[in-house]
Amino acid sequence: MGVPASQRLRKQSDFRQIRSQGIRIHCGSFIFQCLQRSEDTAAQSRLSVIASRRVGNAVKRNYGKRMLREIFRKNQAALPPHTDVVIVLRGSYDTQSYAQLEARYLKACGNFSKNIVPTKETEA
């Protein structure tokens, strides 16, 4: 299945806004950056996964992006509505299982939705 185009971040201005105003949570194998949008926008959460060449070859990068998009798709209820998420993949993601990545993602979502995160950078 996958994440539909309406739920993907594409504009450079959205990325800049999330990076400057959003919350950054380090999750080991990836960095979880999120920002809650105003109520007048679409209710769906949006996602983008970034994997640079440092992560590995094209096969490894694409596999990691597919896994994280699937985790987002399955666990959309863990995020509050109107949330934009950018996940920056790190090269060590393949040392963890799918279940471990999903657990880290859910923990980061919980930290964000409960407003437990006191600073802009924290460990999940």
* Long-range CB contact pairs, 91-98, < 8 A, 24+: 91/54, 91/55, 91/56, 92/28, 92/29, 93/29, 93/30, 93/55, 93/64, 93/67, 94/56, 94/60, 94/63, 94/64, 95/29, 96/28, 96/29, 98/67, 98/71
42-82: pLDDT as tens digits: 668 899 999 999 999 999 999 999 999 999 999 988 988 88
pLDDT at 123: 56
- Structurally, at CATH architecture level, domain 5-123 sits in 2-Layer Sandwich (3.30)
Q: What region does 114 belong to: left with phi over 0, alpha with psi -120 to 50, or beta?
A: alpha
What pTM was computed for the model?
0.85
At residue 116 the predicted structure's pLDDT band, cuts being 50, 70 and 90, is: very low
Q: Where are the domains of the chain?
A: 5-123
Q: Classify residue 47 as exposed, middle or buried by CB count within 10 Å of its CB (0-12, 13-18, 19+).
A: buried
CA distance 109 to 106: 5
CA distance 12 to 109: 23
